[in-house]
Structure 1
Amino acid sequence: MKVEARDVVVSLSGRPVLTGVDLEVRSGEVLGLLGPNGSGKSTLLRTIYRAIRPDGGAVEVGGLDVWSSTTREVARRCAVLTQDHATEVELSVLDLVLLGRIPHRTLLRRSDRDDEALARECLDRVDAAHLENRMLPTLSGGERQRVLLARALAQQPKVLLLDEPTNHLDIAHQLELLSLVRRLGVTAVIALHDLTLAAAYCDRLALLDQGRLVAAGPPEEVLTPDRVRDVYGVACDVLVHPRTGRLLLALDLAASPAKESTA
């Protein structure tokens, strides 16, 4: 399912955050959303899943204008894994994952055996089946992240939106999570800070800087040494992995210029 943002403009507290962003995410592809802190990555994701209404422009998911549709209609197409989530809610892991079924239930229908079977399947897919009976506040950061991904999968989305999903995960689980996202076969937009991980697991990359889209395309076209230096203020060499052929970024902090502050 395709995602389109056309000329999206967002200001928060009178400060421009996104300025005329045009982005197309092709059906079935994994797109990495990159940029420094404050570049607008999270804000762009939030315009897609109806958390921040843009001041101008349009956002469509599968041809559906998300801001002319209901939250339930959008939730049947899009699932979200955000950075901000409650950690002290007294819910069991299974009950939390079952919340992902809400967009597909009527007001009067409670979870049934089919829902529970699907929730357990989703937990198993993220290597968290053993956590089913644990309470959310007892989980580690990495465990919680996997459980929240299972909840997103329980929505059976056509589009998956992930905002820094590898936070709190050790390197093994970072790789497992991104590999899982690739295997799902759904359209995925992933905001990431790790450029090498983005190049390894994403079909295309979109690079934001100060609220503007400065580049979009295959990793080798987006992550050039000049562009990384200009956007991140870091010098690097772009190498090729000898076995996978994927890009590797070797950062040279000693040679990195200090990027001018935009505060």
Structure 2
Amino acid sequence: MDALVTTEWLANELGANDLRVVDATYVLASDGRDPAAEYEAAHIPGAVFFDIGEISDLTNPLPTMLPPPEKFASRMQSLGLGDGSRIVIYDNSPYRTAARAWWMLRIFGAHDVAVLDGGFAKWQAEGRPVESGKPQHRHRHFTVWADDSQVRTLDQMKANVDSGAEQVLDARSGPRFTGEEPDPRPATHAGHIPGSKNLPYKQLFNDDGTWKTGDALKAEFEKAGVDLSKPLVTTCGSGITAAVLLFGAHLLGNEAALYDGSWSEWGADMSTPKATGSA
């Protein structure tokens, strides 16, 4: 299974014994939406709801941080996602949150995982079937495991400012990156991690909401000043849209890491250096 699959491919595979479909729509409280209620009203047949806000470390004051491996495995088992499953993730979010769920699943040991190109919007636009309600799931075994090689911590990012060993790429908008626009979080500086580059995540998509691929996708990274043959770490406001850049890099053969605390942590920490202006 490719990392990016089409609606046509998924429609043909629906009902396969080993296939699991996941709705990973996540939005901000300020968006005034309820993704869980939207999922119950309409979802791809057989899909389960992956609650990114709840499947996180709720003891951490930072938003949507990775949960402990035991919690993640428990939640996946209760959703019927287990070892040996082929998992296709979609979303209906402006933040393209399927990429975050894709990254999380891979961190915690699931490897046959894909993102649905165009998401739920494309599926619906094509008149494909949907269902409502909350399906019952048979628990499946999900092995407790975590590989943190694709996760970066505050201390690692501080060390990287000095060493420059890894390129850092920020998914936030240009004005947020440069500091022209204040950060929406209280007591959080504006600006970016010194030495980082900026590639607003929306630039990785075509006008119809599908992913750019091949040379068109590669061009976006190159315009941002990124060398995809070298190590890369992605960052954003809270670790959500950073996963979009990470997934895009994966499509081009670069296995990037993600700074999970992102600007929520760096921007509020008094000990970190902050830069403003363009990269």
- TM-score (normalised: structure 2): 0.24
- Bigger RCO (CA 8 Å, 6+ sep): 1
- TM-score (normalised: structure 1): 0.25
